[in-house]
Amino acid sequence: MKFMIFFNHVEGVWESLDEATRQRHQATLGKLMSELVAEKNAKMFFFAPPADARTVRQHPDGHQETLKGPARPGPEQAGGYYLIEADSIDEAVEWARRGRFLTGANEVRQLVEFPS
């Protein structure tokens, strides 16, 4: 089964870390990604900053507008995602736990291919 693990970041947390802590986190991420690629055929994608996002919103009357910024403003924003293959959602959740080392959340969703 395929799963997408979204990782979110809380605004300002990374910037508040000292350089040594940032380097430790980067090393942890590098190790995690090496394991994910080797064991789960994973790919990771990072998003550009939320301020660079554009949101297309459809209104009930059919009118569309394009707004600057993320669809859901707030201090916790999507930082990116990784795709993995796992035998169960529980296994995917364990990988999400291993990948969560800063304040924020990882969300696990099974992917359903369309058309099937």
Q: 22-70 pLDDT, tens per residue?
A: 999 999 989 988 998 888 888 889 999 899 999 999 999 999 999 999 9
Q: How far apart are CA 74 and CA 9, in angstroms?
A: 11
Residue 20, φ and ψ in degrees, nearest 5:
-65, -40
Superfamily of domain 2-110: Dimeric alpha+beta barrel (3.30.70.1060)
Highest-scoring range by mean pLDDT, 6-15, 45-54, 56-65, 95-104? 56-65
Beta bridge partners of 1: none
Q: Which amino acid is at 16?
A: S
Contact 70, 55 (CB under 8 A): yes
Q: Where are the domains of the chain?
A: 2-110
Q: Which amino acid is at 12?
A: G
To the nearest 10°, the Cα dihedral for 92, 9, 15, 18? -30
Q: What would the two tokens of residue 45 be?
A: 């994608």
Residue 71, φ and ψ in degrees, nearest 5:
-65, -35
Q: What would the two tokens of residue 88 be?
A: 């169960």
Q: What would the two tokens of residue 13 be?
A: 């947390």
Q: How far apart are CA 17 and CA 22, in angstroms?
A: 6
pLDDT of residue 21: 94
Q: How far apart are CA 93 and CA 100, in angstroms?
A: 11
Q: 18-29 pLDDT, tens per residue?
A: 999 999 999 998
Least confident of 17-21, 36-40, 76-80, 87-91: 36-40
